[in-house]
Chain A
Amino acid sequence: MKNIIKIILLSLTLMPLSCVVSESKKAEEEGTENGASAGNGNGAGSNARNTSNSISPLVETVQVKSFNQINMTMSKMTGVSRAEDDIRDVVTQVLNQLPSDNQLEGMTPFHQISITRLAFSYCSLFVDTDSEFSNINYGSISDTDIKDRLITRFLDIAPSNDPERYDVLSDEIIGVLENTGTDSTGPLVDASLGSRAVIRERLTKMSCTLILSSPFVILI
């Protein structure tokens, strides 16, 4: 649970990036009208306008997946059946804490916690059973290799098509795999858990969880 909270914090750090990029794309599409008003705005009136310009298009254009959509998405991405006992158990436990519809306004931190729990269940089975990831020698594989395999497997993000988001996501995943954690939380996985391979396999599951519970996956 302690580890999951750390992953939640990390996945939340990706949220603003995803939303801002979507928003800036929309601004570009609209001939930078919003951007211009934001740049030139002075005084209370223009601040109010800026606020409404920055929030309402976001709500209109960005939605969150609902519980069934999240469950199906994670199942499809990992190849793990929704009917697996471990998955069903977690879904039963967190069902009412997952988003009930697609409205972003209704998204709360509790939803994010539940999404992350579900993601970890999928990732745990995924790393244990997937033909590629279950056969990795976690004692010797590099962090970059794991990171690249995860991103290639799960996301449509590459340095060529989305360098900004790719860089941020890469940094976050490498941060997890290096097991440095944060100043306040310390390492994500306790070194006494087992061998280097055991620890890094666990870190791979957490990196996978980071991706599956990130806005790249749960937002529409």
Chain B
Amino acid sequence: MIHEGSPLSVFSYKNVKAIGLALILSLISSKAAAQNEGMQREQVKKFYTSLTGASASRQEINLLLQAMERGQLFSAAYDIIESRNGYTSYGSFYNVTVRDFATPWSTEDASPFTELNDLTATVVGYTRDEKPFNEILWRDTVYKAVGVVFKGGQLKFFRNSSYPSGTSASSVCQSTVASDRSGSKVRIWYIDPLNPNSSPSDVNNTGCRLTKYSWSQLQTAFNQNKLYIPSLDTIVETNRIKESNDHYRSIENLGLDLANKEIIRETSQQVKLHRDPSAIAGLLSTRAFGKAYYSAGTNRAALAFSMKYFFCKDMEELNDSSIPDYRNRRDVDRSPGGNSTIYKNRCIGCHAGMDAFAGAFAYYDYNGGITYEPGVVVDKMNHNAIFADGHVTNDDSWINLWDSGQNATLGWGSVKAGNGAKDLGRLFASSEAFPKCMSEQVFKKVCFRKAVSDRDHAIVKANTSYFKANQYNMKKLFIKTAMDCME
């Protein structure tokens, strides 16, 4: 029997009912809270994967939940990307997400299995270094591994027990070698690749280290003038990027981290890819782009696939038969199958605008590497004179005929004409369609689906503006889009 006033009197029927109700409510609310936490965990896991392609560890999930609670998801995303402050993504944002984002651009069939090349490395570099992405289509830029070549006097190797005396290397190595003179080891002296113009006698910009490579491996590397990366004690197959893709294949096979700013660095296309500065046009003059779009054919592919990858438009979508055809080349049959209506109704739609643009690529060809001779129109541009009165390409001038008609909606700037791929790249990059296309492709990459619903399109549109307002910062675009897809 419980007496009134007793501490146990709270267990009266009425109170028990109230407590029971409270207990049930608290159980429901704790279950809801657990469900909510479970959903949040799933959300942040997906967010992490959308940025890195990898799975988050338990510790990373907890960090992300805390960041989300504090409203600091954006800065947490930066931490994930840069693998810092408790996040260990091993640069997978660059090595997987951005690389996969750009890889399809370097082949006509958009194969995701294409190996790393100068085009994809440059896209990764521009994103990593937060450079204005609208400049990537025309600036003098290409990213590659930086190291020291074996021939050229900036590197010497010698057996540890008999380092050369009286050379500049000896003074740098003498102190380190003195402590370990084991003859089975080999030592490398080098000029710091980040300061390649340093004097060999400058002890601050030279180094000396033991290497994992054998004497014979180093001799082979010397004979083939391979590239040595001192900080990793790693030999890259070649330093040359003009004639083959071996440099980038080697980077990939060695598992070099594209996030590493001291190893994968921006350099000039001049000398590395082109002798003539007028040939340089950002991605449009990379070897991978040339291999895909300047190889054989008529160089129209360079325009068609620029539209596909930088404007997100297939040629069929750009078909506009209202455009004048005075730049249509001679190889376009004006009466296919004896029926001129087909030409008027269908062929013109693509060729009128495309041929007017494609003159920009008149000096480019591909023969293992890009060839470019200023003032010399490649033969393939004027081959197959099916219609003798068609346009003959005499130089690399181009005209934008799509600034009127249906394709005016692509938002071209005020420039109507120009010369060469660099001018054309500038025109593309200044259009309204380019940032929108980037936003669309980033959406697809980090949201794992095409933008379909009204909400999806609203995100793409808003992030197009965001991209432009943030100096075309691709990294921020990725983060912002990934955050939008979480909601």
Contact = CB atoms under 8 A, between A and B. Distances in A.
A96 B115 CA distance: 13
Contact of A100 (B34, B89, B96, B112): B112
A25 B39 contact: yes
B55 A75 contact: no
B55 A82 contact: no
A156 B448 contact: no
Given A95-B113, A156-B41, A220-B448, A66 B53 contact: yes
Contact of A72 (B50, B96, B254): B96
Main secondary structure on A side of the interface with B: helix
Contacts of A100: 112-113
Interface in B36-85: 37-39, 41-42, 45-46, 49-50, 52-58, 61
B3 interface: no
Interface residues of B, number: 34
B254 A156 contact: no
Main secondary structure on B side of the interface with A: helix
Contacts of B56: 156
B253 interface: yes
B255 A82 contact: yes
B35 A101 contact: no
B53 A68 contact: yes
A156 B53 contact: no
B53 A72 contact: yes
Contacts, number: 73
A63 interface: yes
Given A25-B39, A156-B45, A69 B96 contact: yes
Given A72-B96, A73-B55, A156-B61, A161 B38 contact: yes
Contacts of A132: none
Contact of B54 (A25, A69, A88, A102): A69
A29 interface: yes
Contacts of B55: 73, 76-77, 217
Contact of A63 (B88, B255, B448): B448
Interface of A: 25, 28-29, 60, 63, 65-69, 72-73, 75-77, 81-83, 88, 95-96, 100-102, 156, 161-162, 217, 220
28 contacts: A60-B449, A63-B448, A65-B49, A66-B112, A67-B113, A68-B99, A69-B53, A72-B52, A72-B53, A72-B54, A72-B92, A72-B95, A77-B55, A81-B255, A82-B255, A83-B253, A83-B254, A100-B112, A156-B56, A156-B57, A156-B58, A156-B61, A161-B34, A161-B37, A161-B38, A161-B41, A162-B38, A220-B46
Interface of B: 34-35, 37-39, 41-42, 45-46, 49-50, 52-58, 61, 88-90, 92, 95-96, 99-100, 112-113, 253-255, 448-449
Given A29-B39, A69-B96, A156-B61, 9 more contacts: A63-B448, A66-B112, A73-B55, A88-B253, A95-B113, A156-B57, A156-B58, A161-B37, A220-B46
Instruction: Please name the 5 residue pairs, one residue from A and one from B, whose CB atoms are nearest each other, closest first.
Output: A83-B255, A69-B53, A63-B448, A102-B448, A73-B54
